[in-house]
Structure 1
């Protein structure tokens, strides 16, 4: 039986009739190809320009309404577990997931297990679903076993499965350069290397593509480096910064750079790839881990580690936050959030496993903060979907589907390694009724968190379900 999450709240408007997003993409391929050949010459990396296709899709596609039934219906799931022969400190938990720009597959990073590409089942490309739909078990079609910690990853913005040359992503990981991977066979296409002043290769902490997809912007400890996508290797331009670049958000010619020193810097990027500083935004209490512009480009949303707030900024008046939204983040791990392509919904997970949704038509999270409002948590919907940290959320670009990932690093309880015969109160935690004092019960409660582990990637249906009352 399918898993259905339901909450109490106001109902939203019904979902419009959906369009098959693959048919939209296929109809625009004719505008790029003529007699089976690309209109533009292929680059060194094999990527062709697909900007015209994206513009056509935006003109004809109407994004469906999300959460009309105030429910989440589980569609598919995949999970990872540690091998019996693996060491105890190796934990394969999810560290992020992102839908491809064409919506056909989802890219996820698993700790100590590299990068996985998971396809969306074909029956979900169009139409609706019923409450009795069987939950699919997802298998990775591509698995890149990257060694070391993956710092950041990003899809090519013009990715289209009908044009294989555009199907790729880039990653940056520990002790390695920026690498571009093929999404069809998982092969390595090329690398982009950044070298410091003593000619030592150093890994980028964060990466992103420019909006048109012609440049790769990489953030390092004290410098921003820009690579030409068509010229792999060590050719790059530099712009010095005062602190490490932990995350990026791009919008047209604007670049927001988050930092571990709790600030966000705004830059204007010229056509030549040079950076002009606009200003800095202060407000977070921890290092900024994720930032994203709203589709209208006027607002920026940012989140930080061990900071329970999502800050909404108006980039025209960036001296102070425009609004503050509440979520639970009790870890240094990056906890992703996402904004729907229509700009109406803001969705975020948290270390409590709860998925929170803000609907701009019910909670005006884009307007200025009301200091007289005593209700800080003005969330529209709450879905308790994971028993562990919900660290990543990604909204499908065309369909009413949300991908979520769970997991975090759990420390081993040191008291379980003690001799069972040792008269220690923590050795009696198997039976809570034997605990004699409130202090002992509090200690037990503090240590229980490490036992609730869940490492999964789940697809949820957020659209209309006809037979749910």
Structure 2
């Protein structure tokens, strides 16, 4: 009995416990090397745009600026992980990488499942072996000109048997076990049916809470984000587009695998600047969507050039968020919508227990928000004309903890699935802000020289001189290209 109890005790999984009352401790940091471009004449600094943990927590895979995947050197973090000895240091791709996703049951002990999918520009979607980078299968998305389309977002469903790929005005669905072509879910209404996501109106009658929307549609554009609800009994998933919402179209919609391309509901947002109150969506491009792992009915979304993360409850009125997480306290107090100065995607993450949300900013600061359920009292309408929940302002939440982690923009932060660890990557493109101006000669012609001195041109009238001109394009640089691992574990109390 003791052996059985010990086996069951080790078999039970408990989510990691995080201590967010103090700044985490840095355990590891590595710099990405430089790569040569243009035949080795110029060099540009390589940085990681995003990193994702393998589901078993054995290794993290970073998507880098030089069109490559790099497994981090922080191997063996999970005690029972057995990683291949021939794990490659770099997985080169033929074109820029748009998105990637681990197979949901990927495990280093199971070679058959140790793989991930990658979307590479102008290539079919690739299913790659994580051990050596070899191609296992490819899934083709072809347009009307017989050109390969690379999706901007990829995601596996909860059953891990379907692969969803979002691109312009459509979502392609593949059977993972049958490579080749998939089933296309049009997000634009056809001539026969007006039901869809694009157009002036989508003739549907949908009841969301106390409101009914009869003419709603998802804004036209590239499907930039996909997320499945982590609920086995549910087949819901969310899709967002790069096109900002409009008065007649939302840029986030909820779908069901069983209902196909017909949206079930749409997401709205409160606009405090407008007199109308509720709006049809956020006036910005969708960067990321994610459901709460502990409470799968909560949907979170981040947007381009915005420092806020919105949260909606699928059980209630989806026309307005229930909470907004803001990293800018000064702008929040002034009443202005927080804005970011970069188009780079700054991805957030939620821990597996659904208690903490972490995100970085352009200054290298990581913010951590508490996702504990709020015990706010609901004010109902009374006979004297009191306020209703739909007219109350959406609560704004400030971070519980913040700390300086990098000296450049933080592309992504991600929680470890098994331990109290946080992984962050930094880097962004920086160009010379004061390039040398081009100077023309009196005759309007120019001549390239190396030493930069003014020289007389042969066969030209006296007094006409040529000047030097820099012909090479400025190369971007990055201030900080590190990948850091942070420990958020509670301090162990010494025994007395």
State the shift of 1:373 in Å: 9.3
Which residue matches 1:107? 61
* Contact kept? 2:323, 2:394, Cα under 8 Å: no
Which residue matches 1:35? none
State the shift of 1:68 in Å: 5.4
* Contact kept? 2:107, 2:113, Cα under 8 Å: yes
Instruction: Provide the rounded CA distance (Å) in 1 between the counterparts of 2:58 and 2:32.
Output: 22
Which residue matches 2:124? 177
* Cα pair distance change 1:334/1:163, threshold 3 Å: same
TM-score w.r.t. structure 2 length? Answer: 0.68
Which runs of 5 or more residues in structure 2 are unaligned? 1-6, 81-85, 189-197, 199-219, 245-250, 269-280, 329-339, 379-388, 440-475
- Larger helix percent: 1
Instruction: Provide the rounded CA distance (Å) in 1 between the counterparts of 2:164 and 2:478.
Output: 38
* Cα pair distance change 1:300/1:102, threshold 3 Å: same
Instruction: Provide the rounded CA distance (Å) in 1 between the counterparts of 2:423 and 2:410.
Output: 11
* Cα pair distance change 1:290/1:123, threshold 3 Å: closer
Following superposition of structure 1 onto structure 2, how do residues 245-260 of structure 1 map, counting pairs within 5 Å?
245-251=223-229, 252-260=234-242
State the shift of 1:112 in Å: 1.3
* Contact kept? 1:95, 1:405, Cα under 8 Å: yes
Which runs of 5 or more residues in structure 1 are unaligned? 1-26, 29-55, 127-138, 420-449
* Cα pair distance change 1:87/1:97, threshold 3 Å: farther
Instruction: Provide the rounded CA distance (Å) in 2 between the counterparts of 1:73 and 1:418.
Output: 49
1:360 to 371, 376, 391: 371
* Contact kept? 2:311, 2:321, Cα under 8 Å: yes
Which residue matches 2:162? 215
Following superposition of structure 1 onto structure 2, how do residues 208-357 of structure 1 map, counting pairs within 5 Å?
208-241=155-188, 242=198, 243=220, 244-251=222-229, 252-262=234-244, 263-270=251-258, 274-282=260-268, 283-295=281-293, 296-316=295-315, 317-327=317-327, 329-357=340-368
TM-score w.r.t. structure 1 length? Answer: 0.71
Instruction: Provide the rounded CA distance (Å) in 2 between the counterparts of 1:362 and 1:279.
Output: 24
- Provide the aligned C-alpha RMSD in A: 3.2
State the shift of 1:223 in Å: 1.0
Query: Equivalent residue of 1:454, what SS?
Result: coil
Which residue matches 1:433? none
Number of residue-to-residue matches in the alignment: 368
Instruction: Provide the rounded CA distance (Å) in 1 between the counterparts of 2:43 and 2:285.
Output: 25
Greater C-alpha radius of gyration? 2
State the shift of 1:107 in Å: 1.1
Query: Equivalent residue of 2:112, what SS?
Result: helix
* Contact kept? 1:116, 1:140, Cα under 8 Å: no
* Contact kept? 1:104, 1:119, Cα under 8 Å: no
Which residue matches 2:107? 160
State the shift of 1:418 in Å: 7.8
Task: Point out which structure has higher relative CO (alpha carbons under 8 A, 6+ apart).
Answer: 1
